[in-house]
Amino acid sequence: MEQVMRNTFLYLSKSKSLTKMARKYGLRFGAGRFVAGERIDQAVKCIQELNQKDLCVTIDYLGEFIDTEKEANEMADNSIEAIRAIGTENLDSQLSLKMTSMGLDISEEVVMKNMRRILNAAKEYGVFVTIDMEDYSRCGKTIDVFKKLREEYDNVGTVIQAYLYRTVKDMEDLNQYSPNLRLVKGAYKESPEVAFPDKKDVDDNFKKIIEMHLLNGNYTAVATHDDAMIEYTKEFVKKHGISKDQFEFQMLYGIRPERQLELVKEGYKMRVYVPYGTDWYGYFMRRLAERPANVAFVLKGIIKK
């Protein structure tokens, strides 16, 4: 049953018609738990509240199904607006973004132009930028863009997904760039031809890439809500004498907030991924797919309304 629900929500997340409907009706039916708001001022307020609790943040202006250069340029403008807000408000926050929202599906020229604009602004305000990873069909292109940008900028990182077979090879290839990477299990529905179908295999590969990246001496963001993986990371860094300055934990806004605060109290850097914007539908569907408990929360919200 759980797998059926997951597949259903992942399928719905790719619906352009439902995405347009969601933009029209705004943050309803529980989405507000996982999305900080539709405007930058709402996101700033959310970040300030998290910073006051000693939580770091990475902010993401949500956007999917970008079909034109004009839309991609507007998305880049919104990312630059977020960077300026981080700088002027003195927020403890980084920026995350998707390559498709910057024009990856349009042309390399468009995405590189927009990314250089963003990274130049980020450099001016001292903001680090993480390139989110999307589905398998865009994985290789995203890594290629990251490599080119990493040769020009030192304030950019990307994301590696443990559920893909190609991941270990990608990690070995990227090590020459001394990259700052966010390591995740992966949240898209992929074919067993390209991704591990079994959870145990995904978990084993996740542990392997955490070990690889830490032992290579690179900064590592372990993005997970899984207590077993968190404890594994703690034990591994302790065993190998790895400083807490070389890694951090990351979780999504609205998921396990109590656990986030516990990690802060234990002395670990804890970064919260805070999305905002009107294009929240696809992100929201993937959050429902990840955890059945999220679905129950949303249903309770609808009943109350």
Query: Where is the binding site for substrate, in residues?
Result: 98, 286-287
What whole-number distance in Å separates Cα of residue 240 and Cα of residue 116? 37
Report phi then psi at 256, rounded to 5: 55, 50
Side chain identity, residue 253: Y
- Give the separation between CA 175 and CA 156, rounded to whole angstroms: 14
CA angle 25, 28, 32 (to 5 degrees): 125
CB-neighbour burial class of residue 301 (10 A; exposed 0-12, middle 13-18, buried 19+): middle
The Cα 19–Cα 9 span in angstroms is 13
Nearest CA to 115 out of 160, 147, 93, 87 is that of 147
Helix H, strand E, coil C: the string for 162-209 is: CCECCHHHHHHHHHHHCCCEEEECCCCCCCCCCECCCHHHHHHHHHHH
| Local structure of 109: helix, strand or coil | helix
Distance CA 124, CA 80 (A): 11
CA distance 151 to 149: 5
Rounded CA gap, 288 and 30, in Å?
10
Show binding-site residues for FAD.
133, 161, 185-187, 199, 224-225
Query: Which residues carry out catalysis?
Result: 132, 182
Distances (CA, A) of 6 to 1, 10, 216, 293, 294: 9, 6, 35, 12, 11
Question: Which amino acid, one-letter code, is at 41?
Answer: D
The radius of gyration computed from the CA coordinates of the chain, to the nearest angstrom, equals: 18
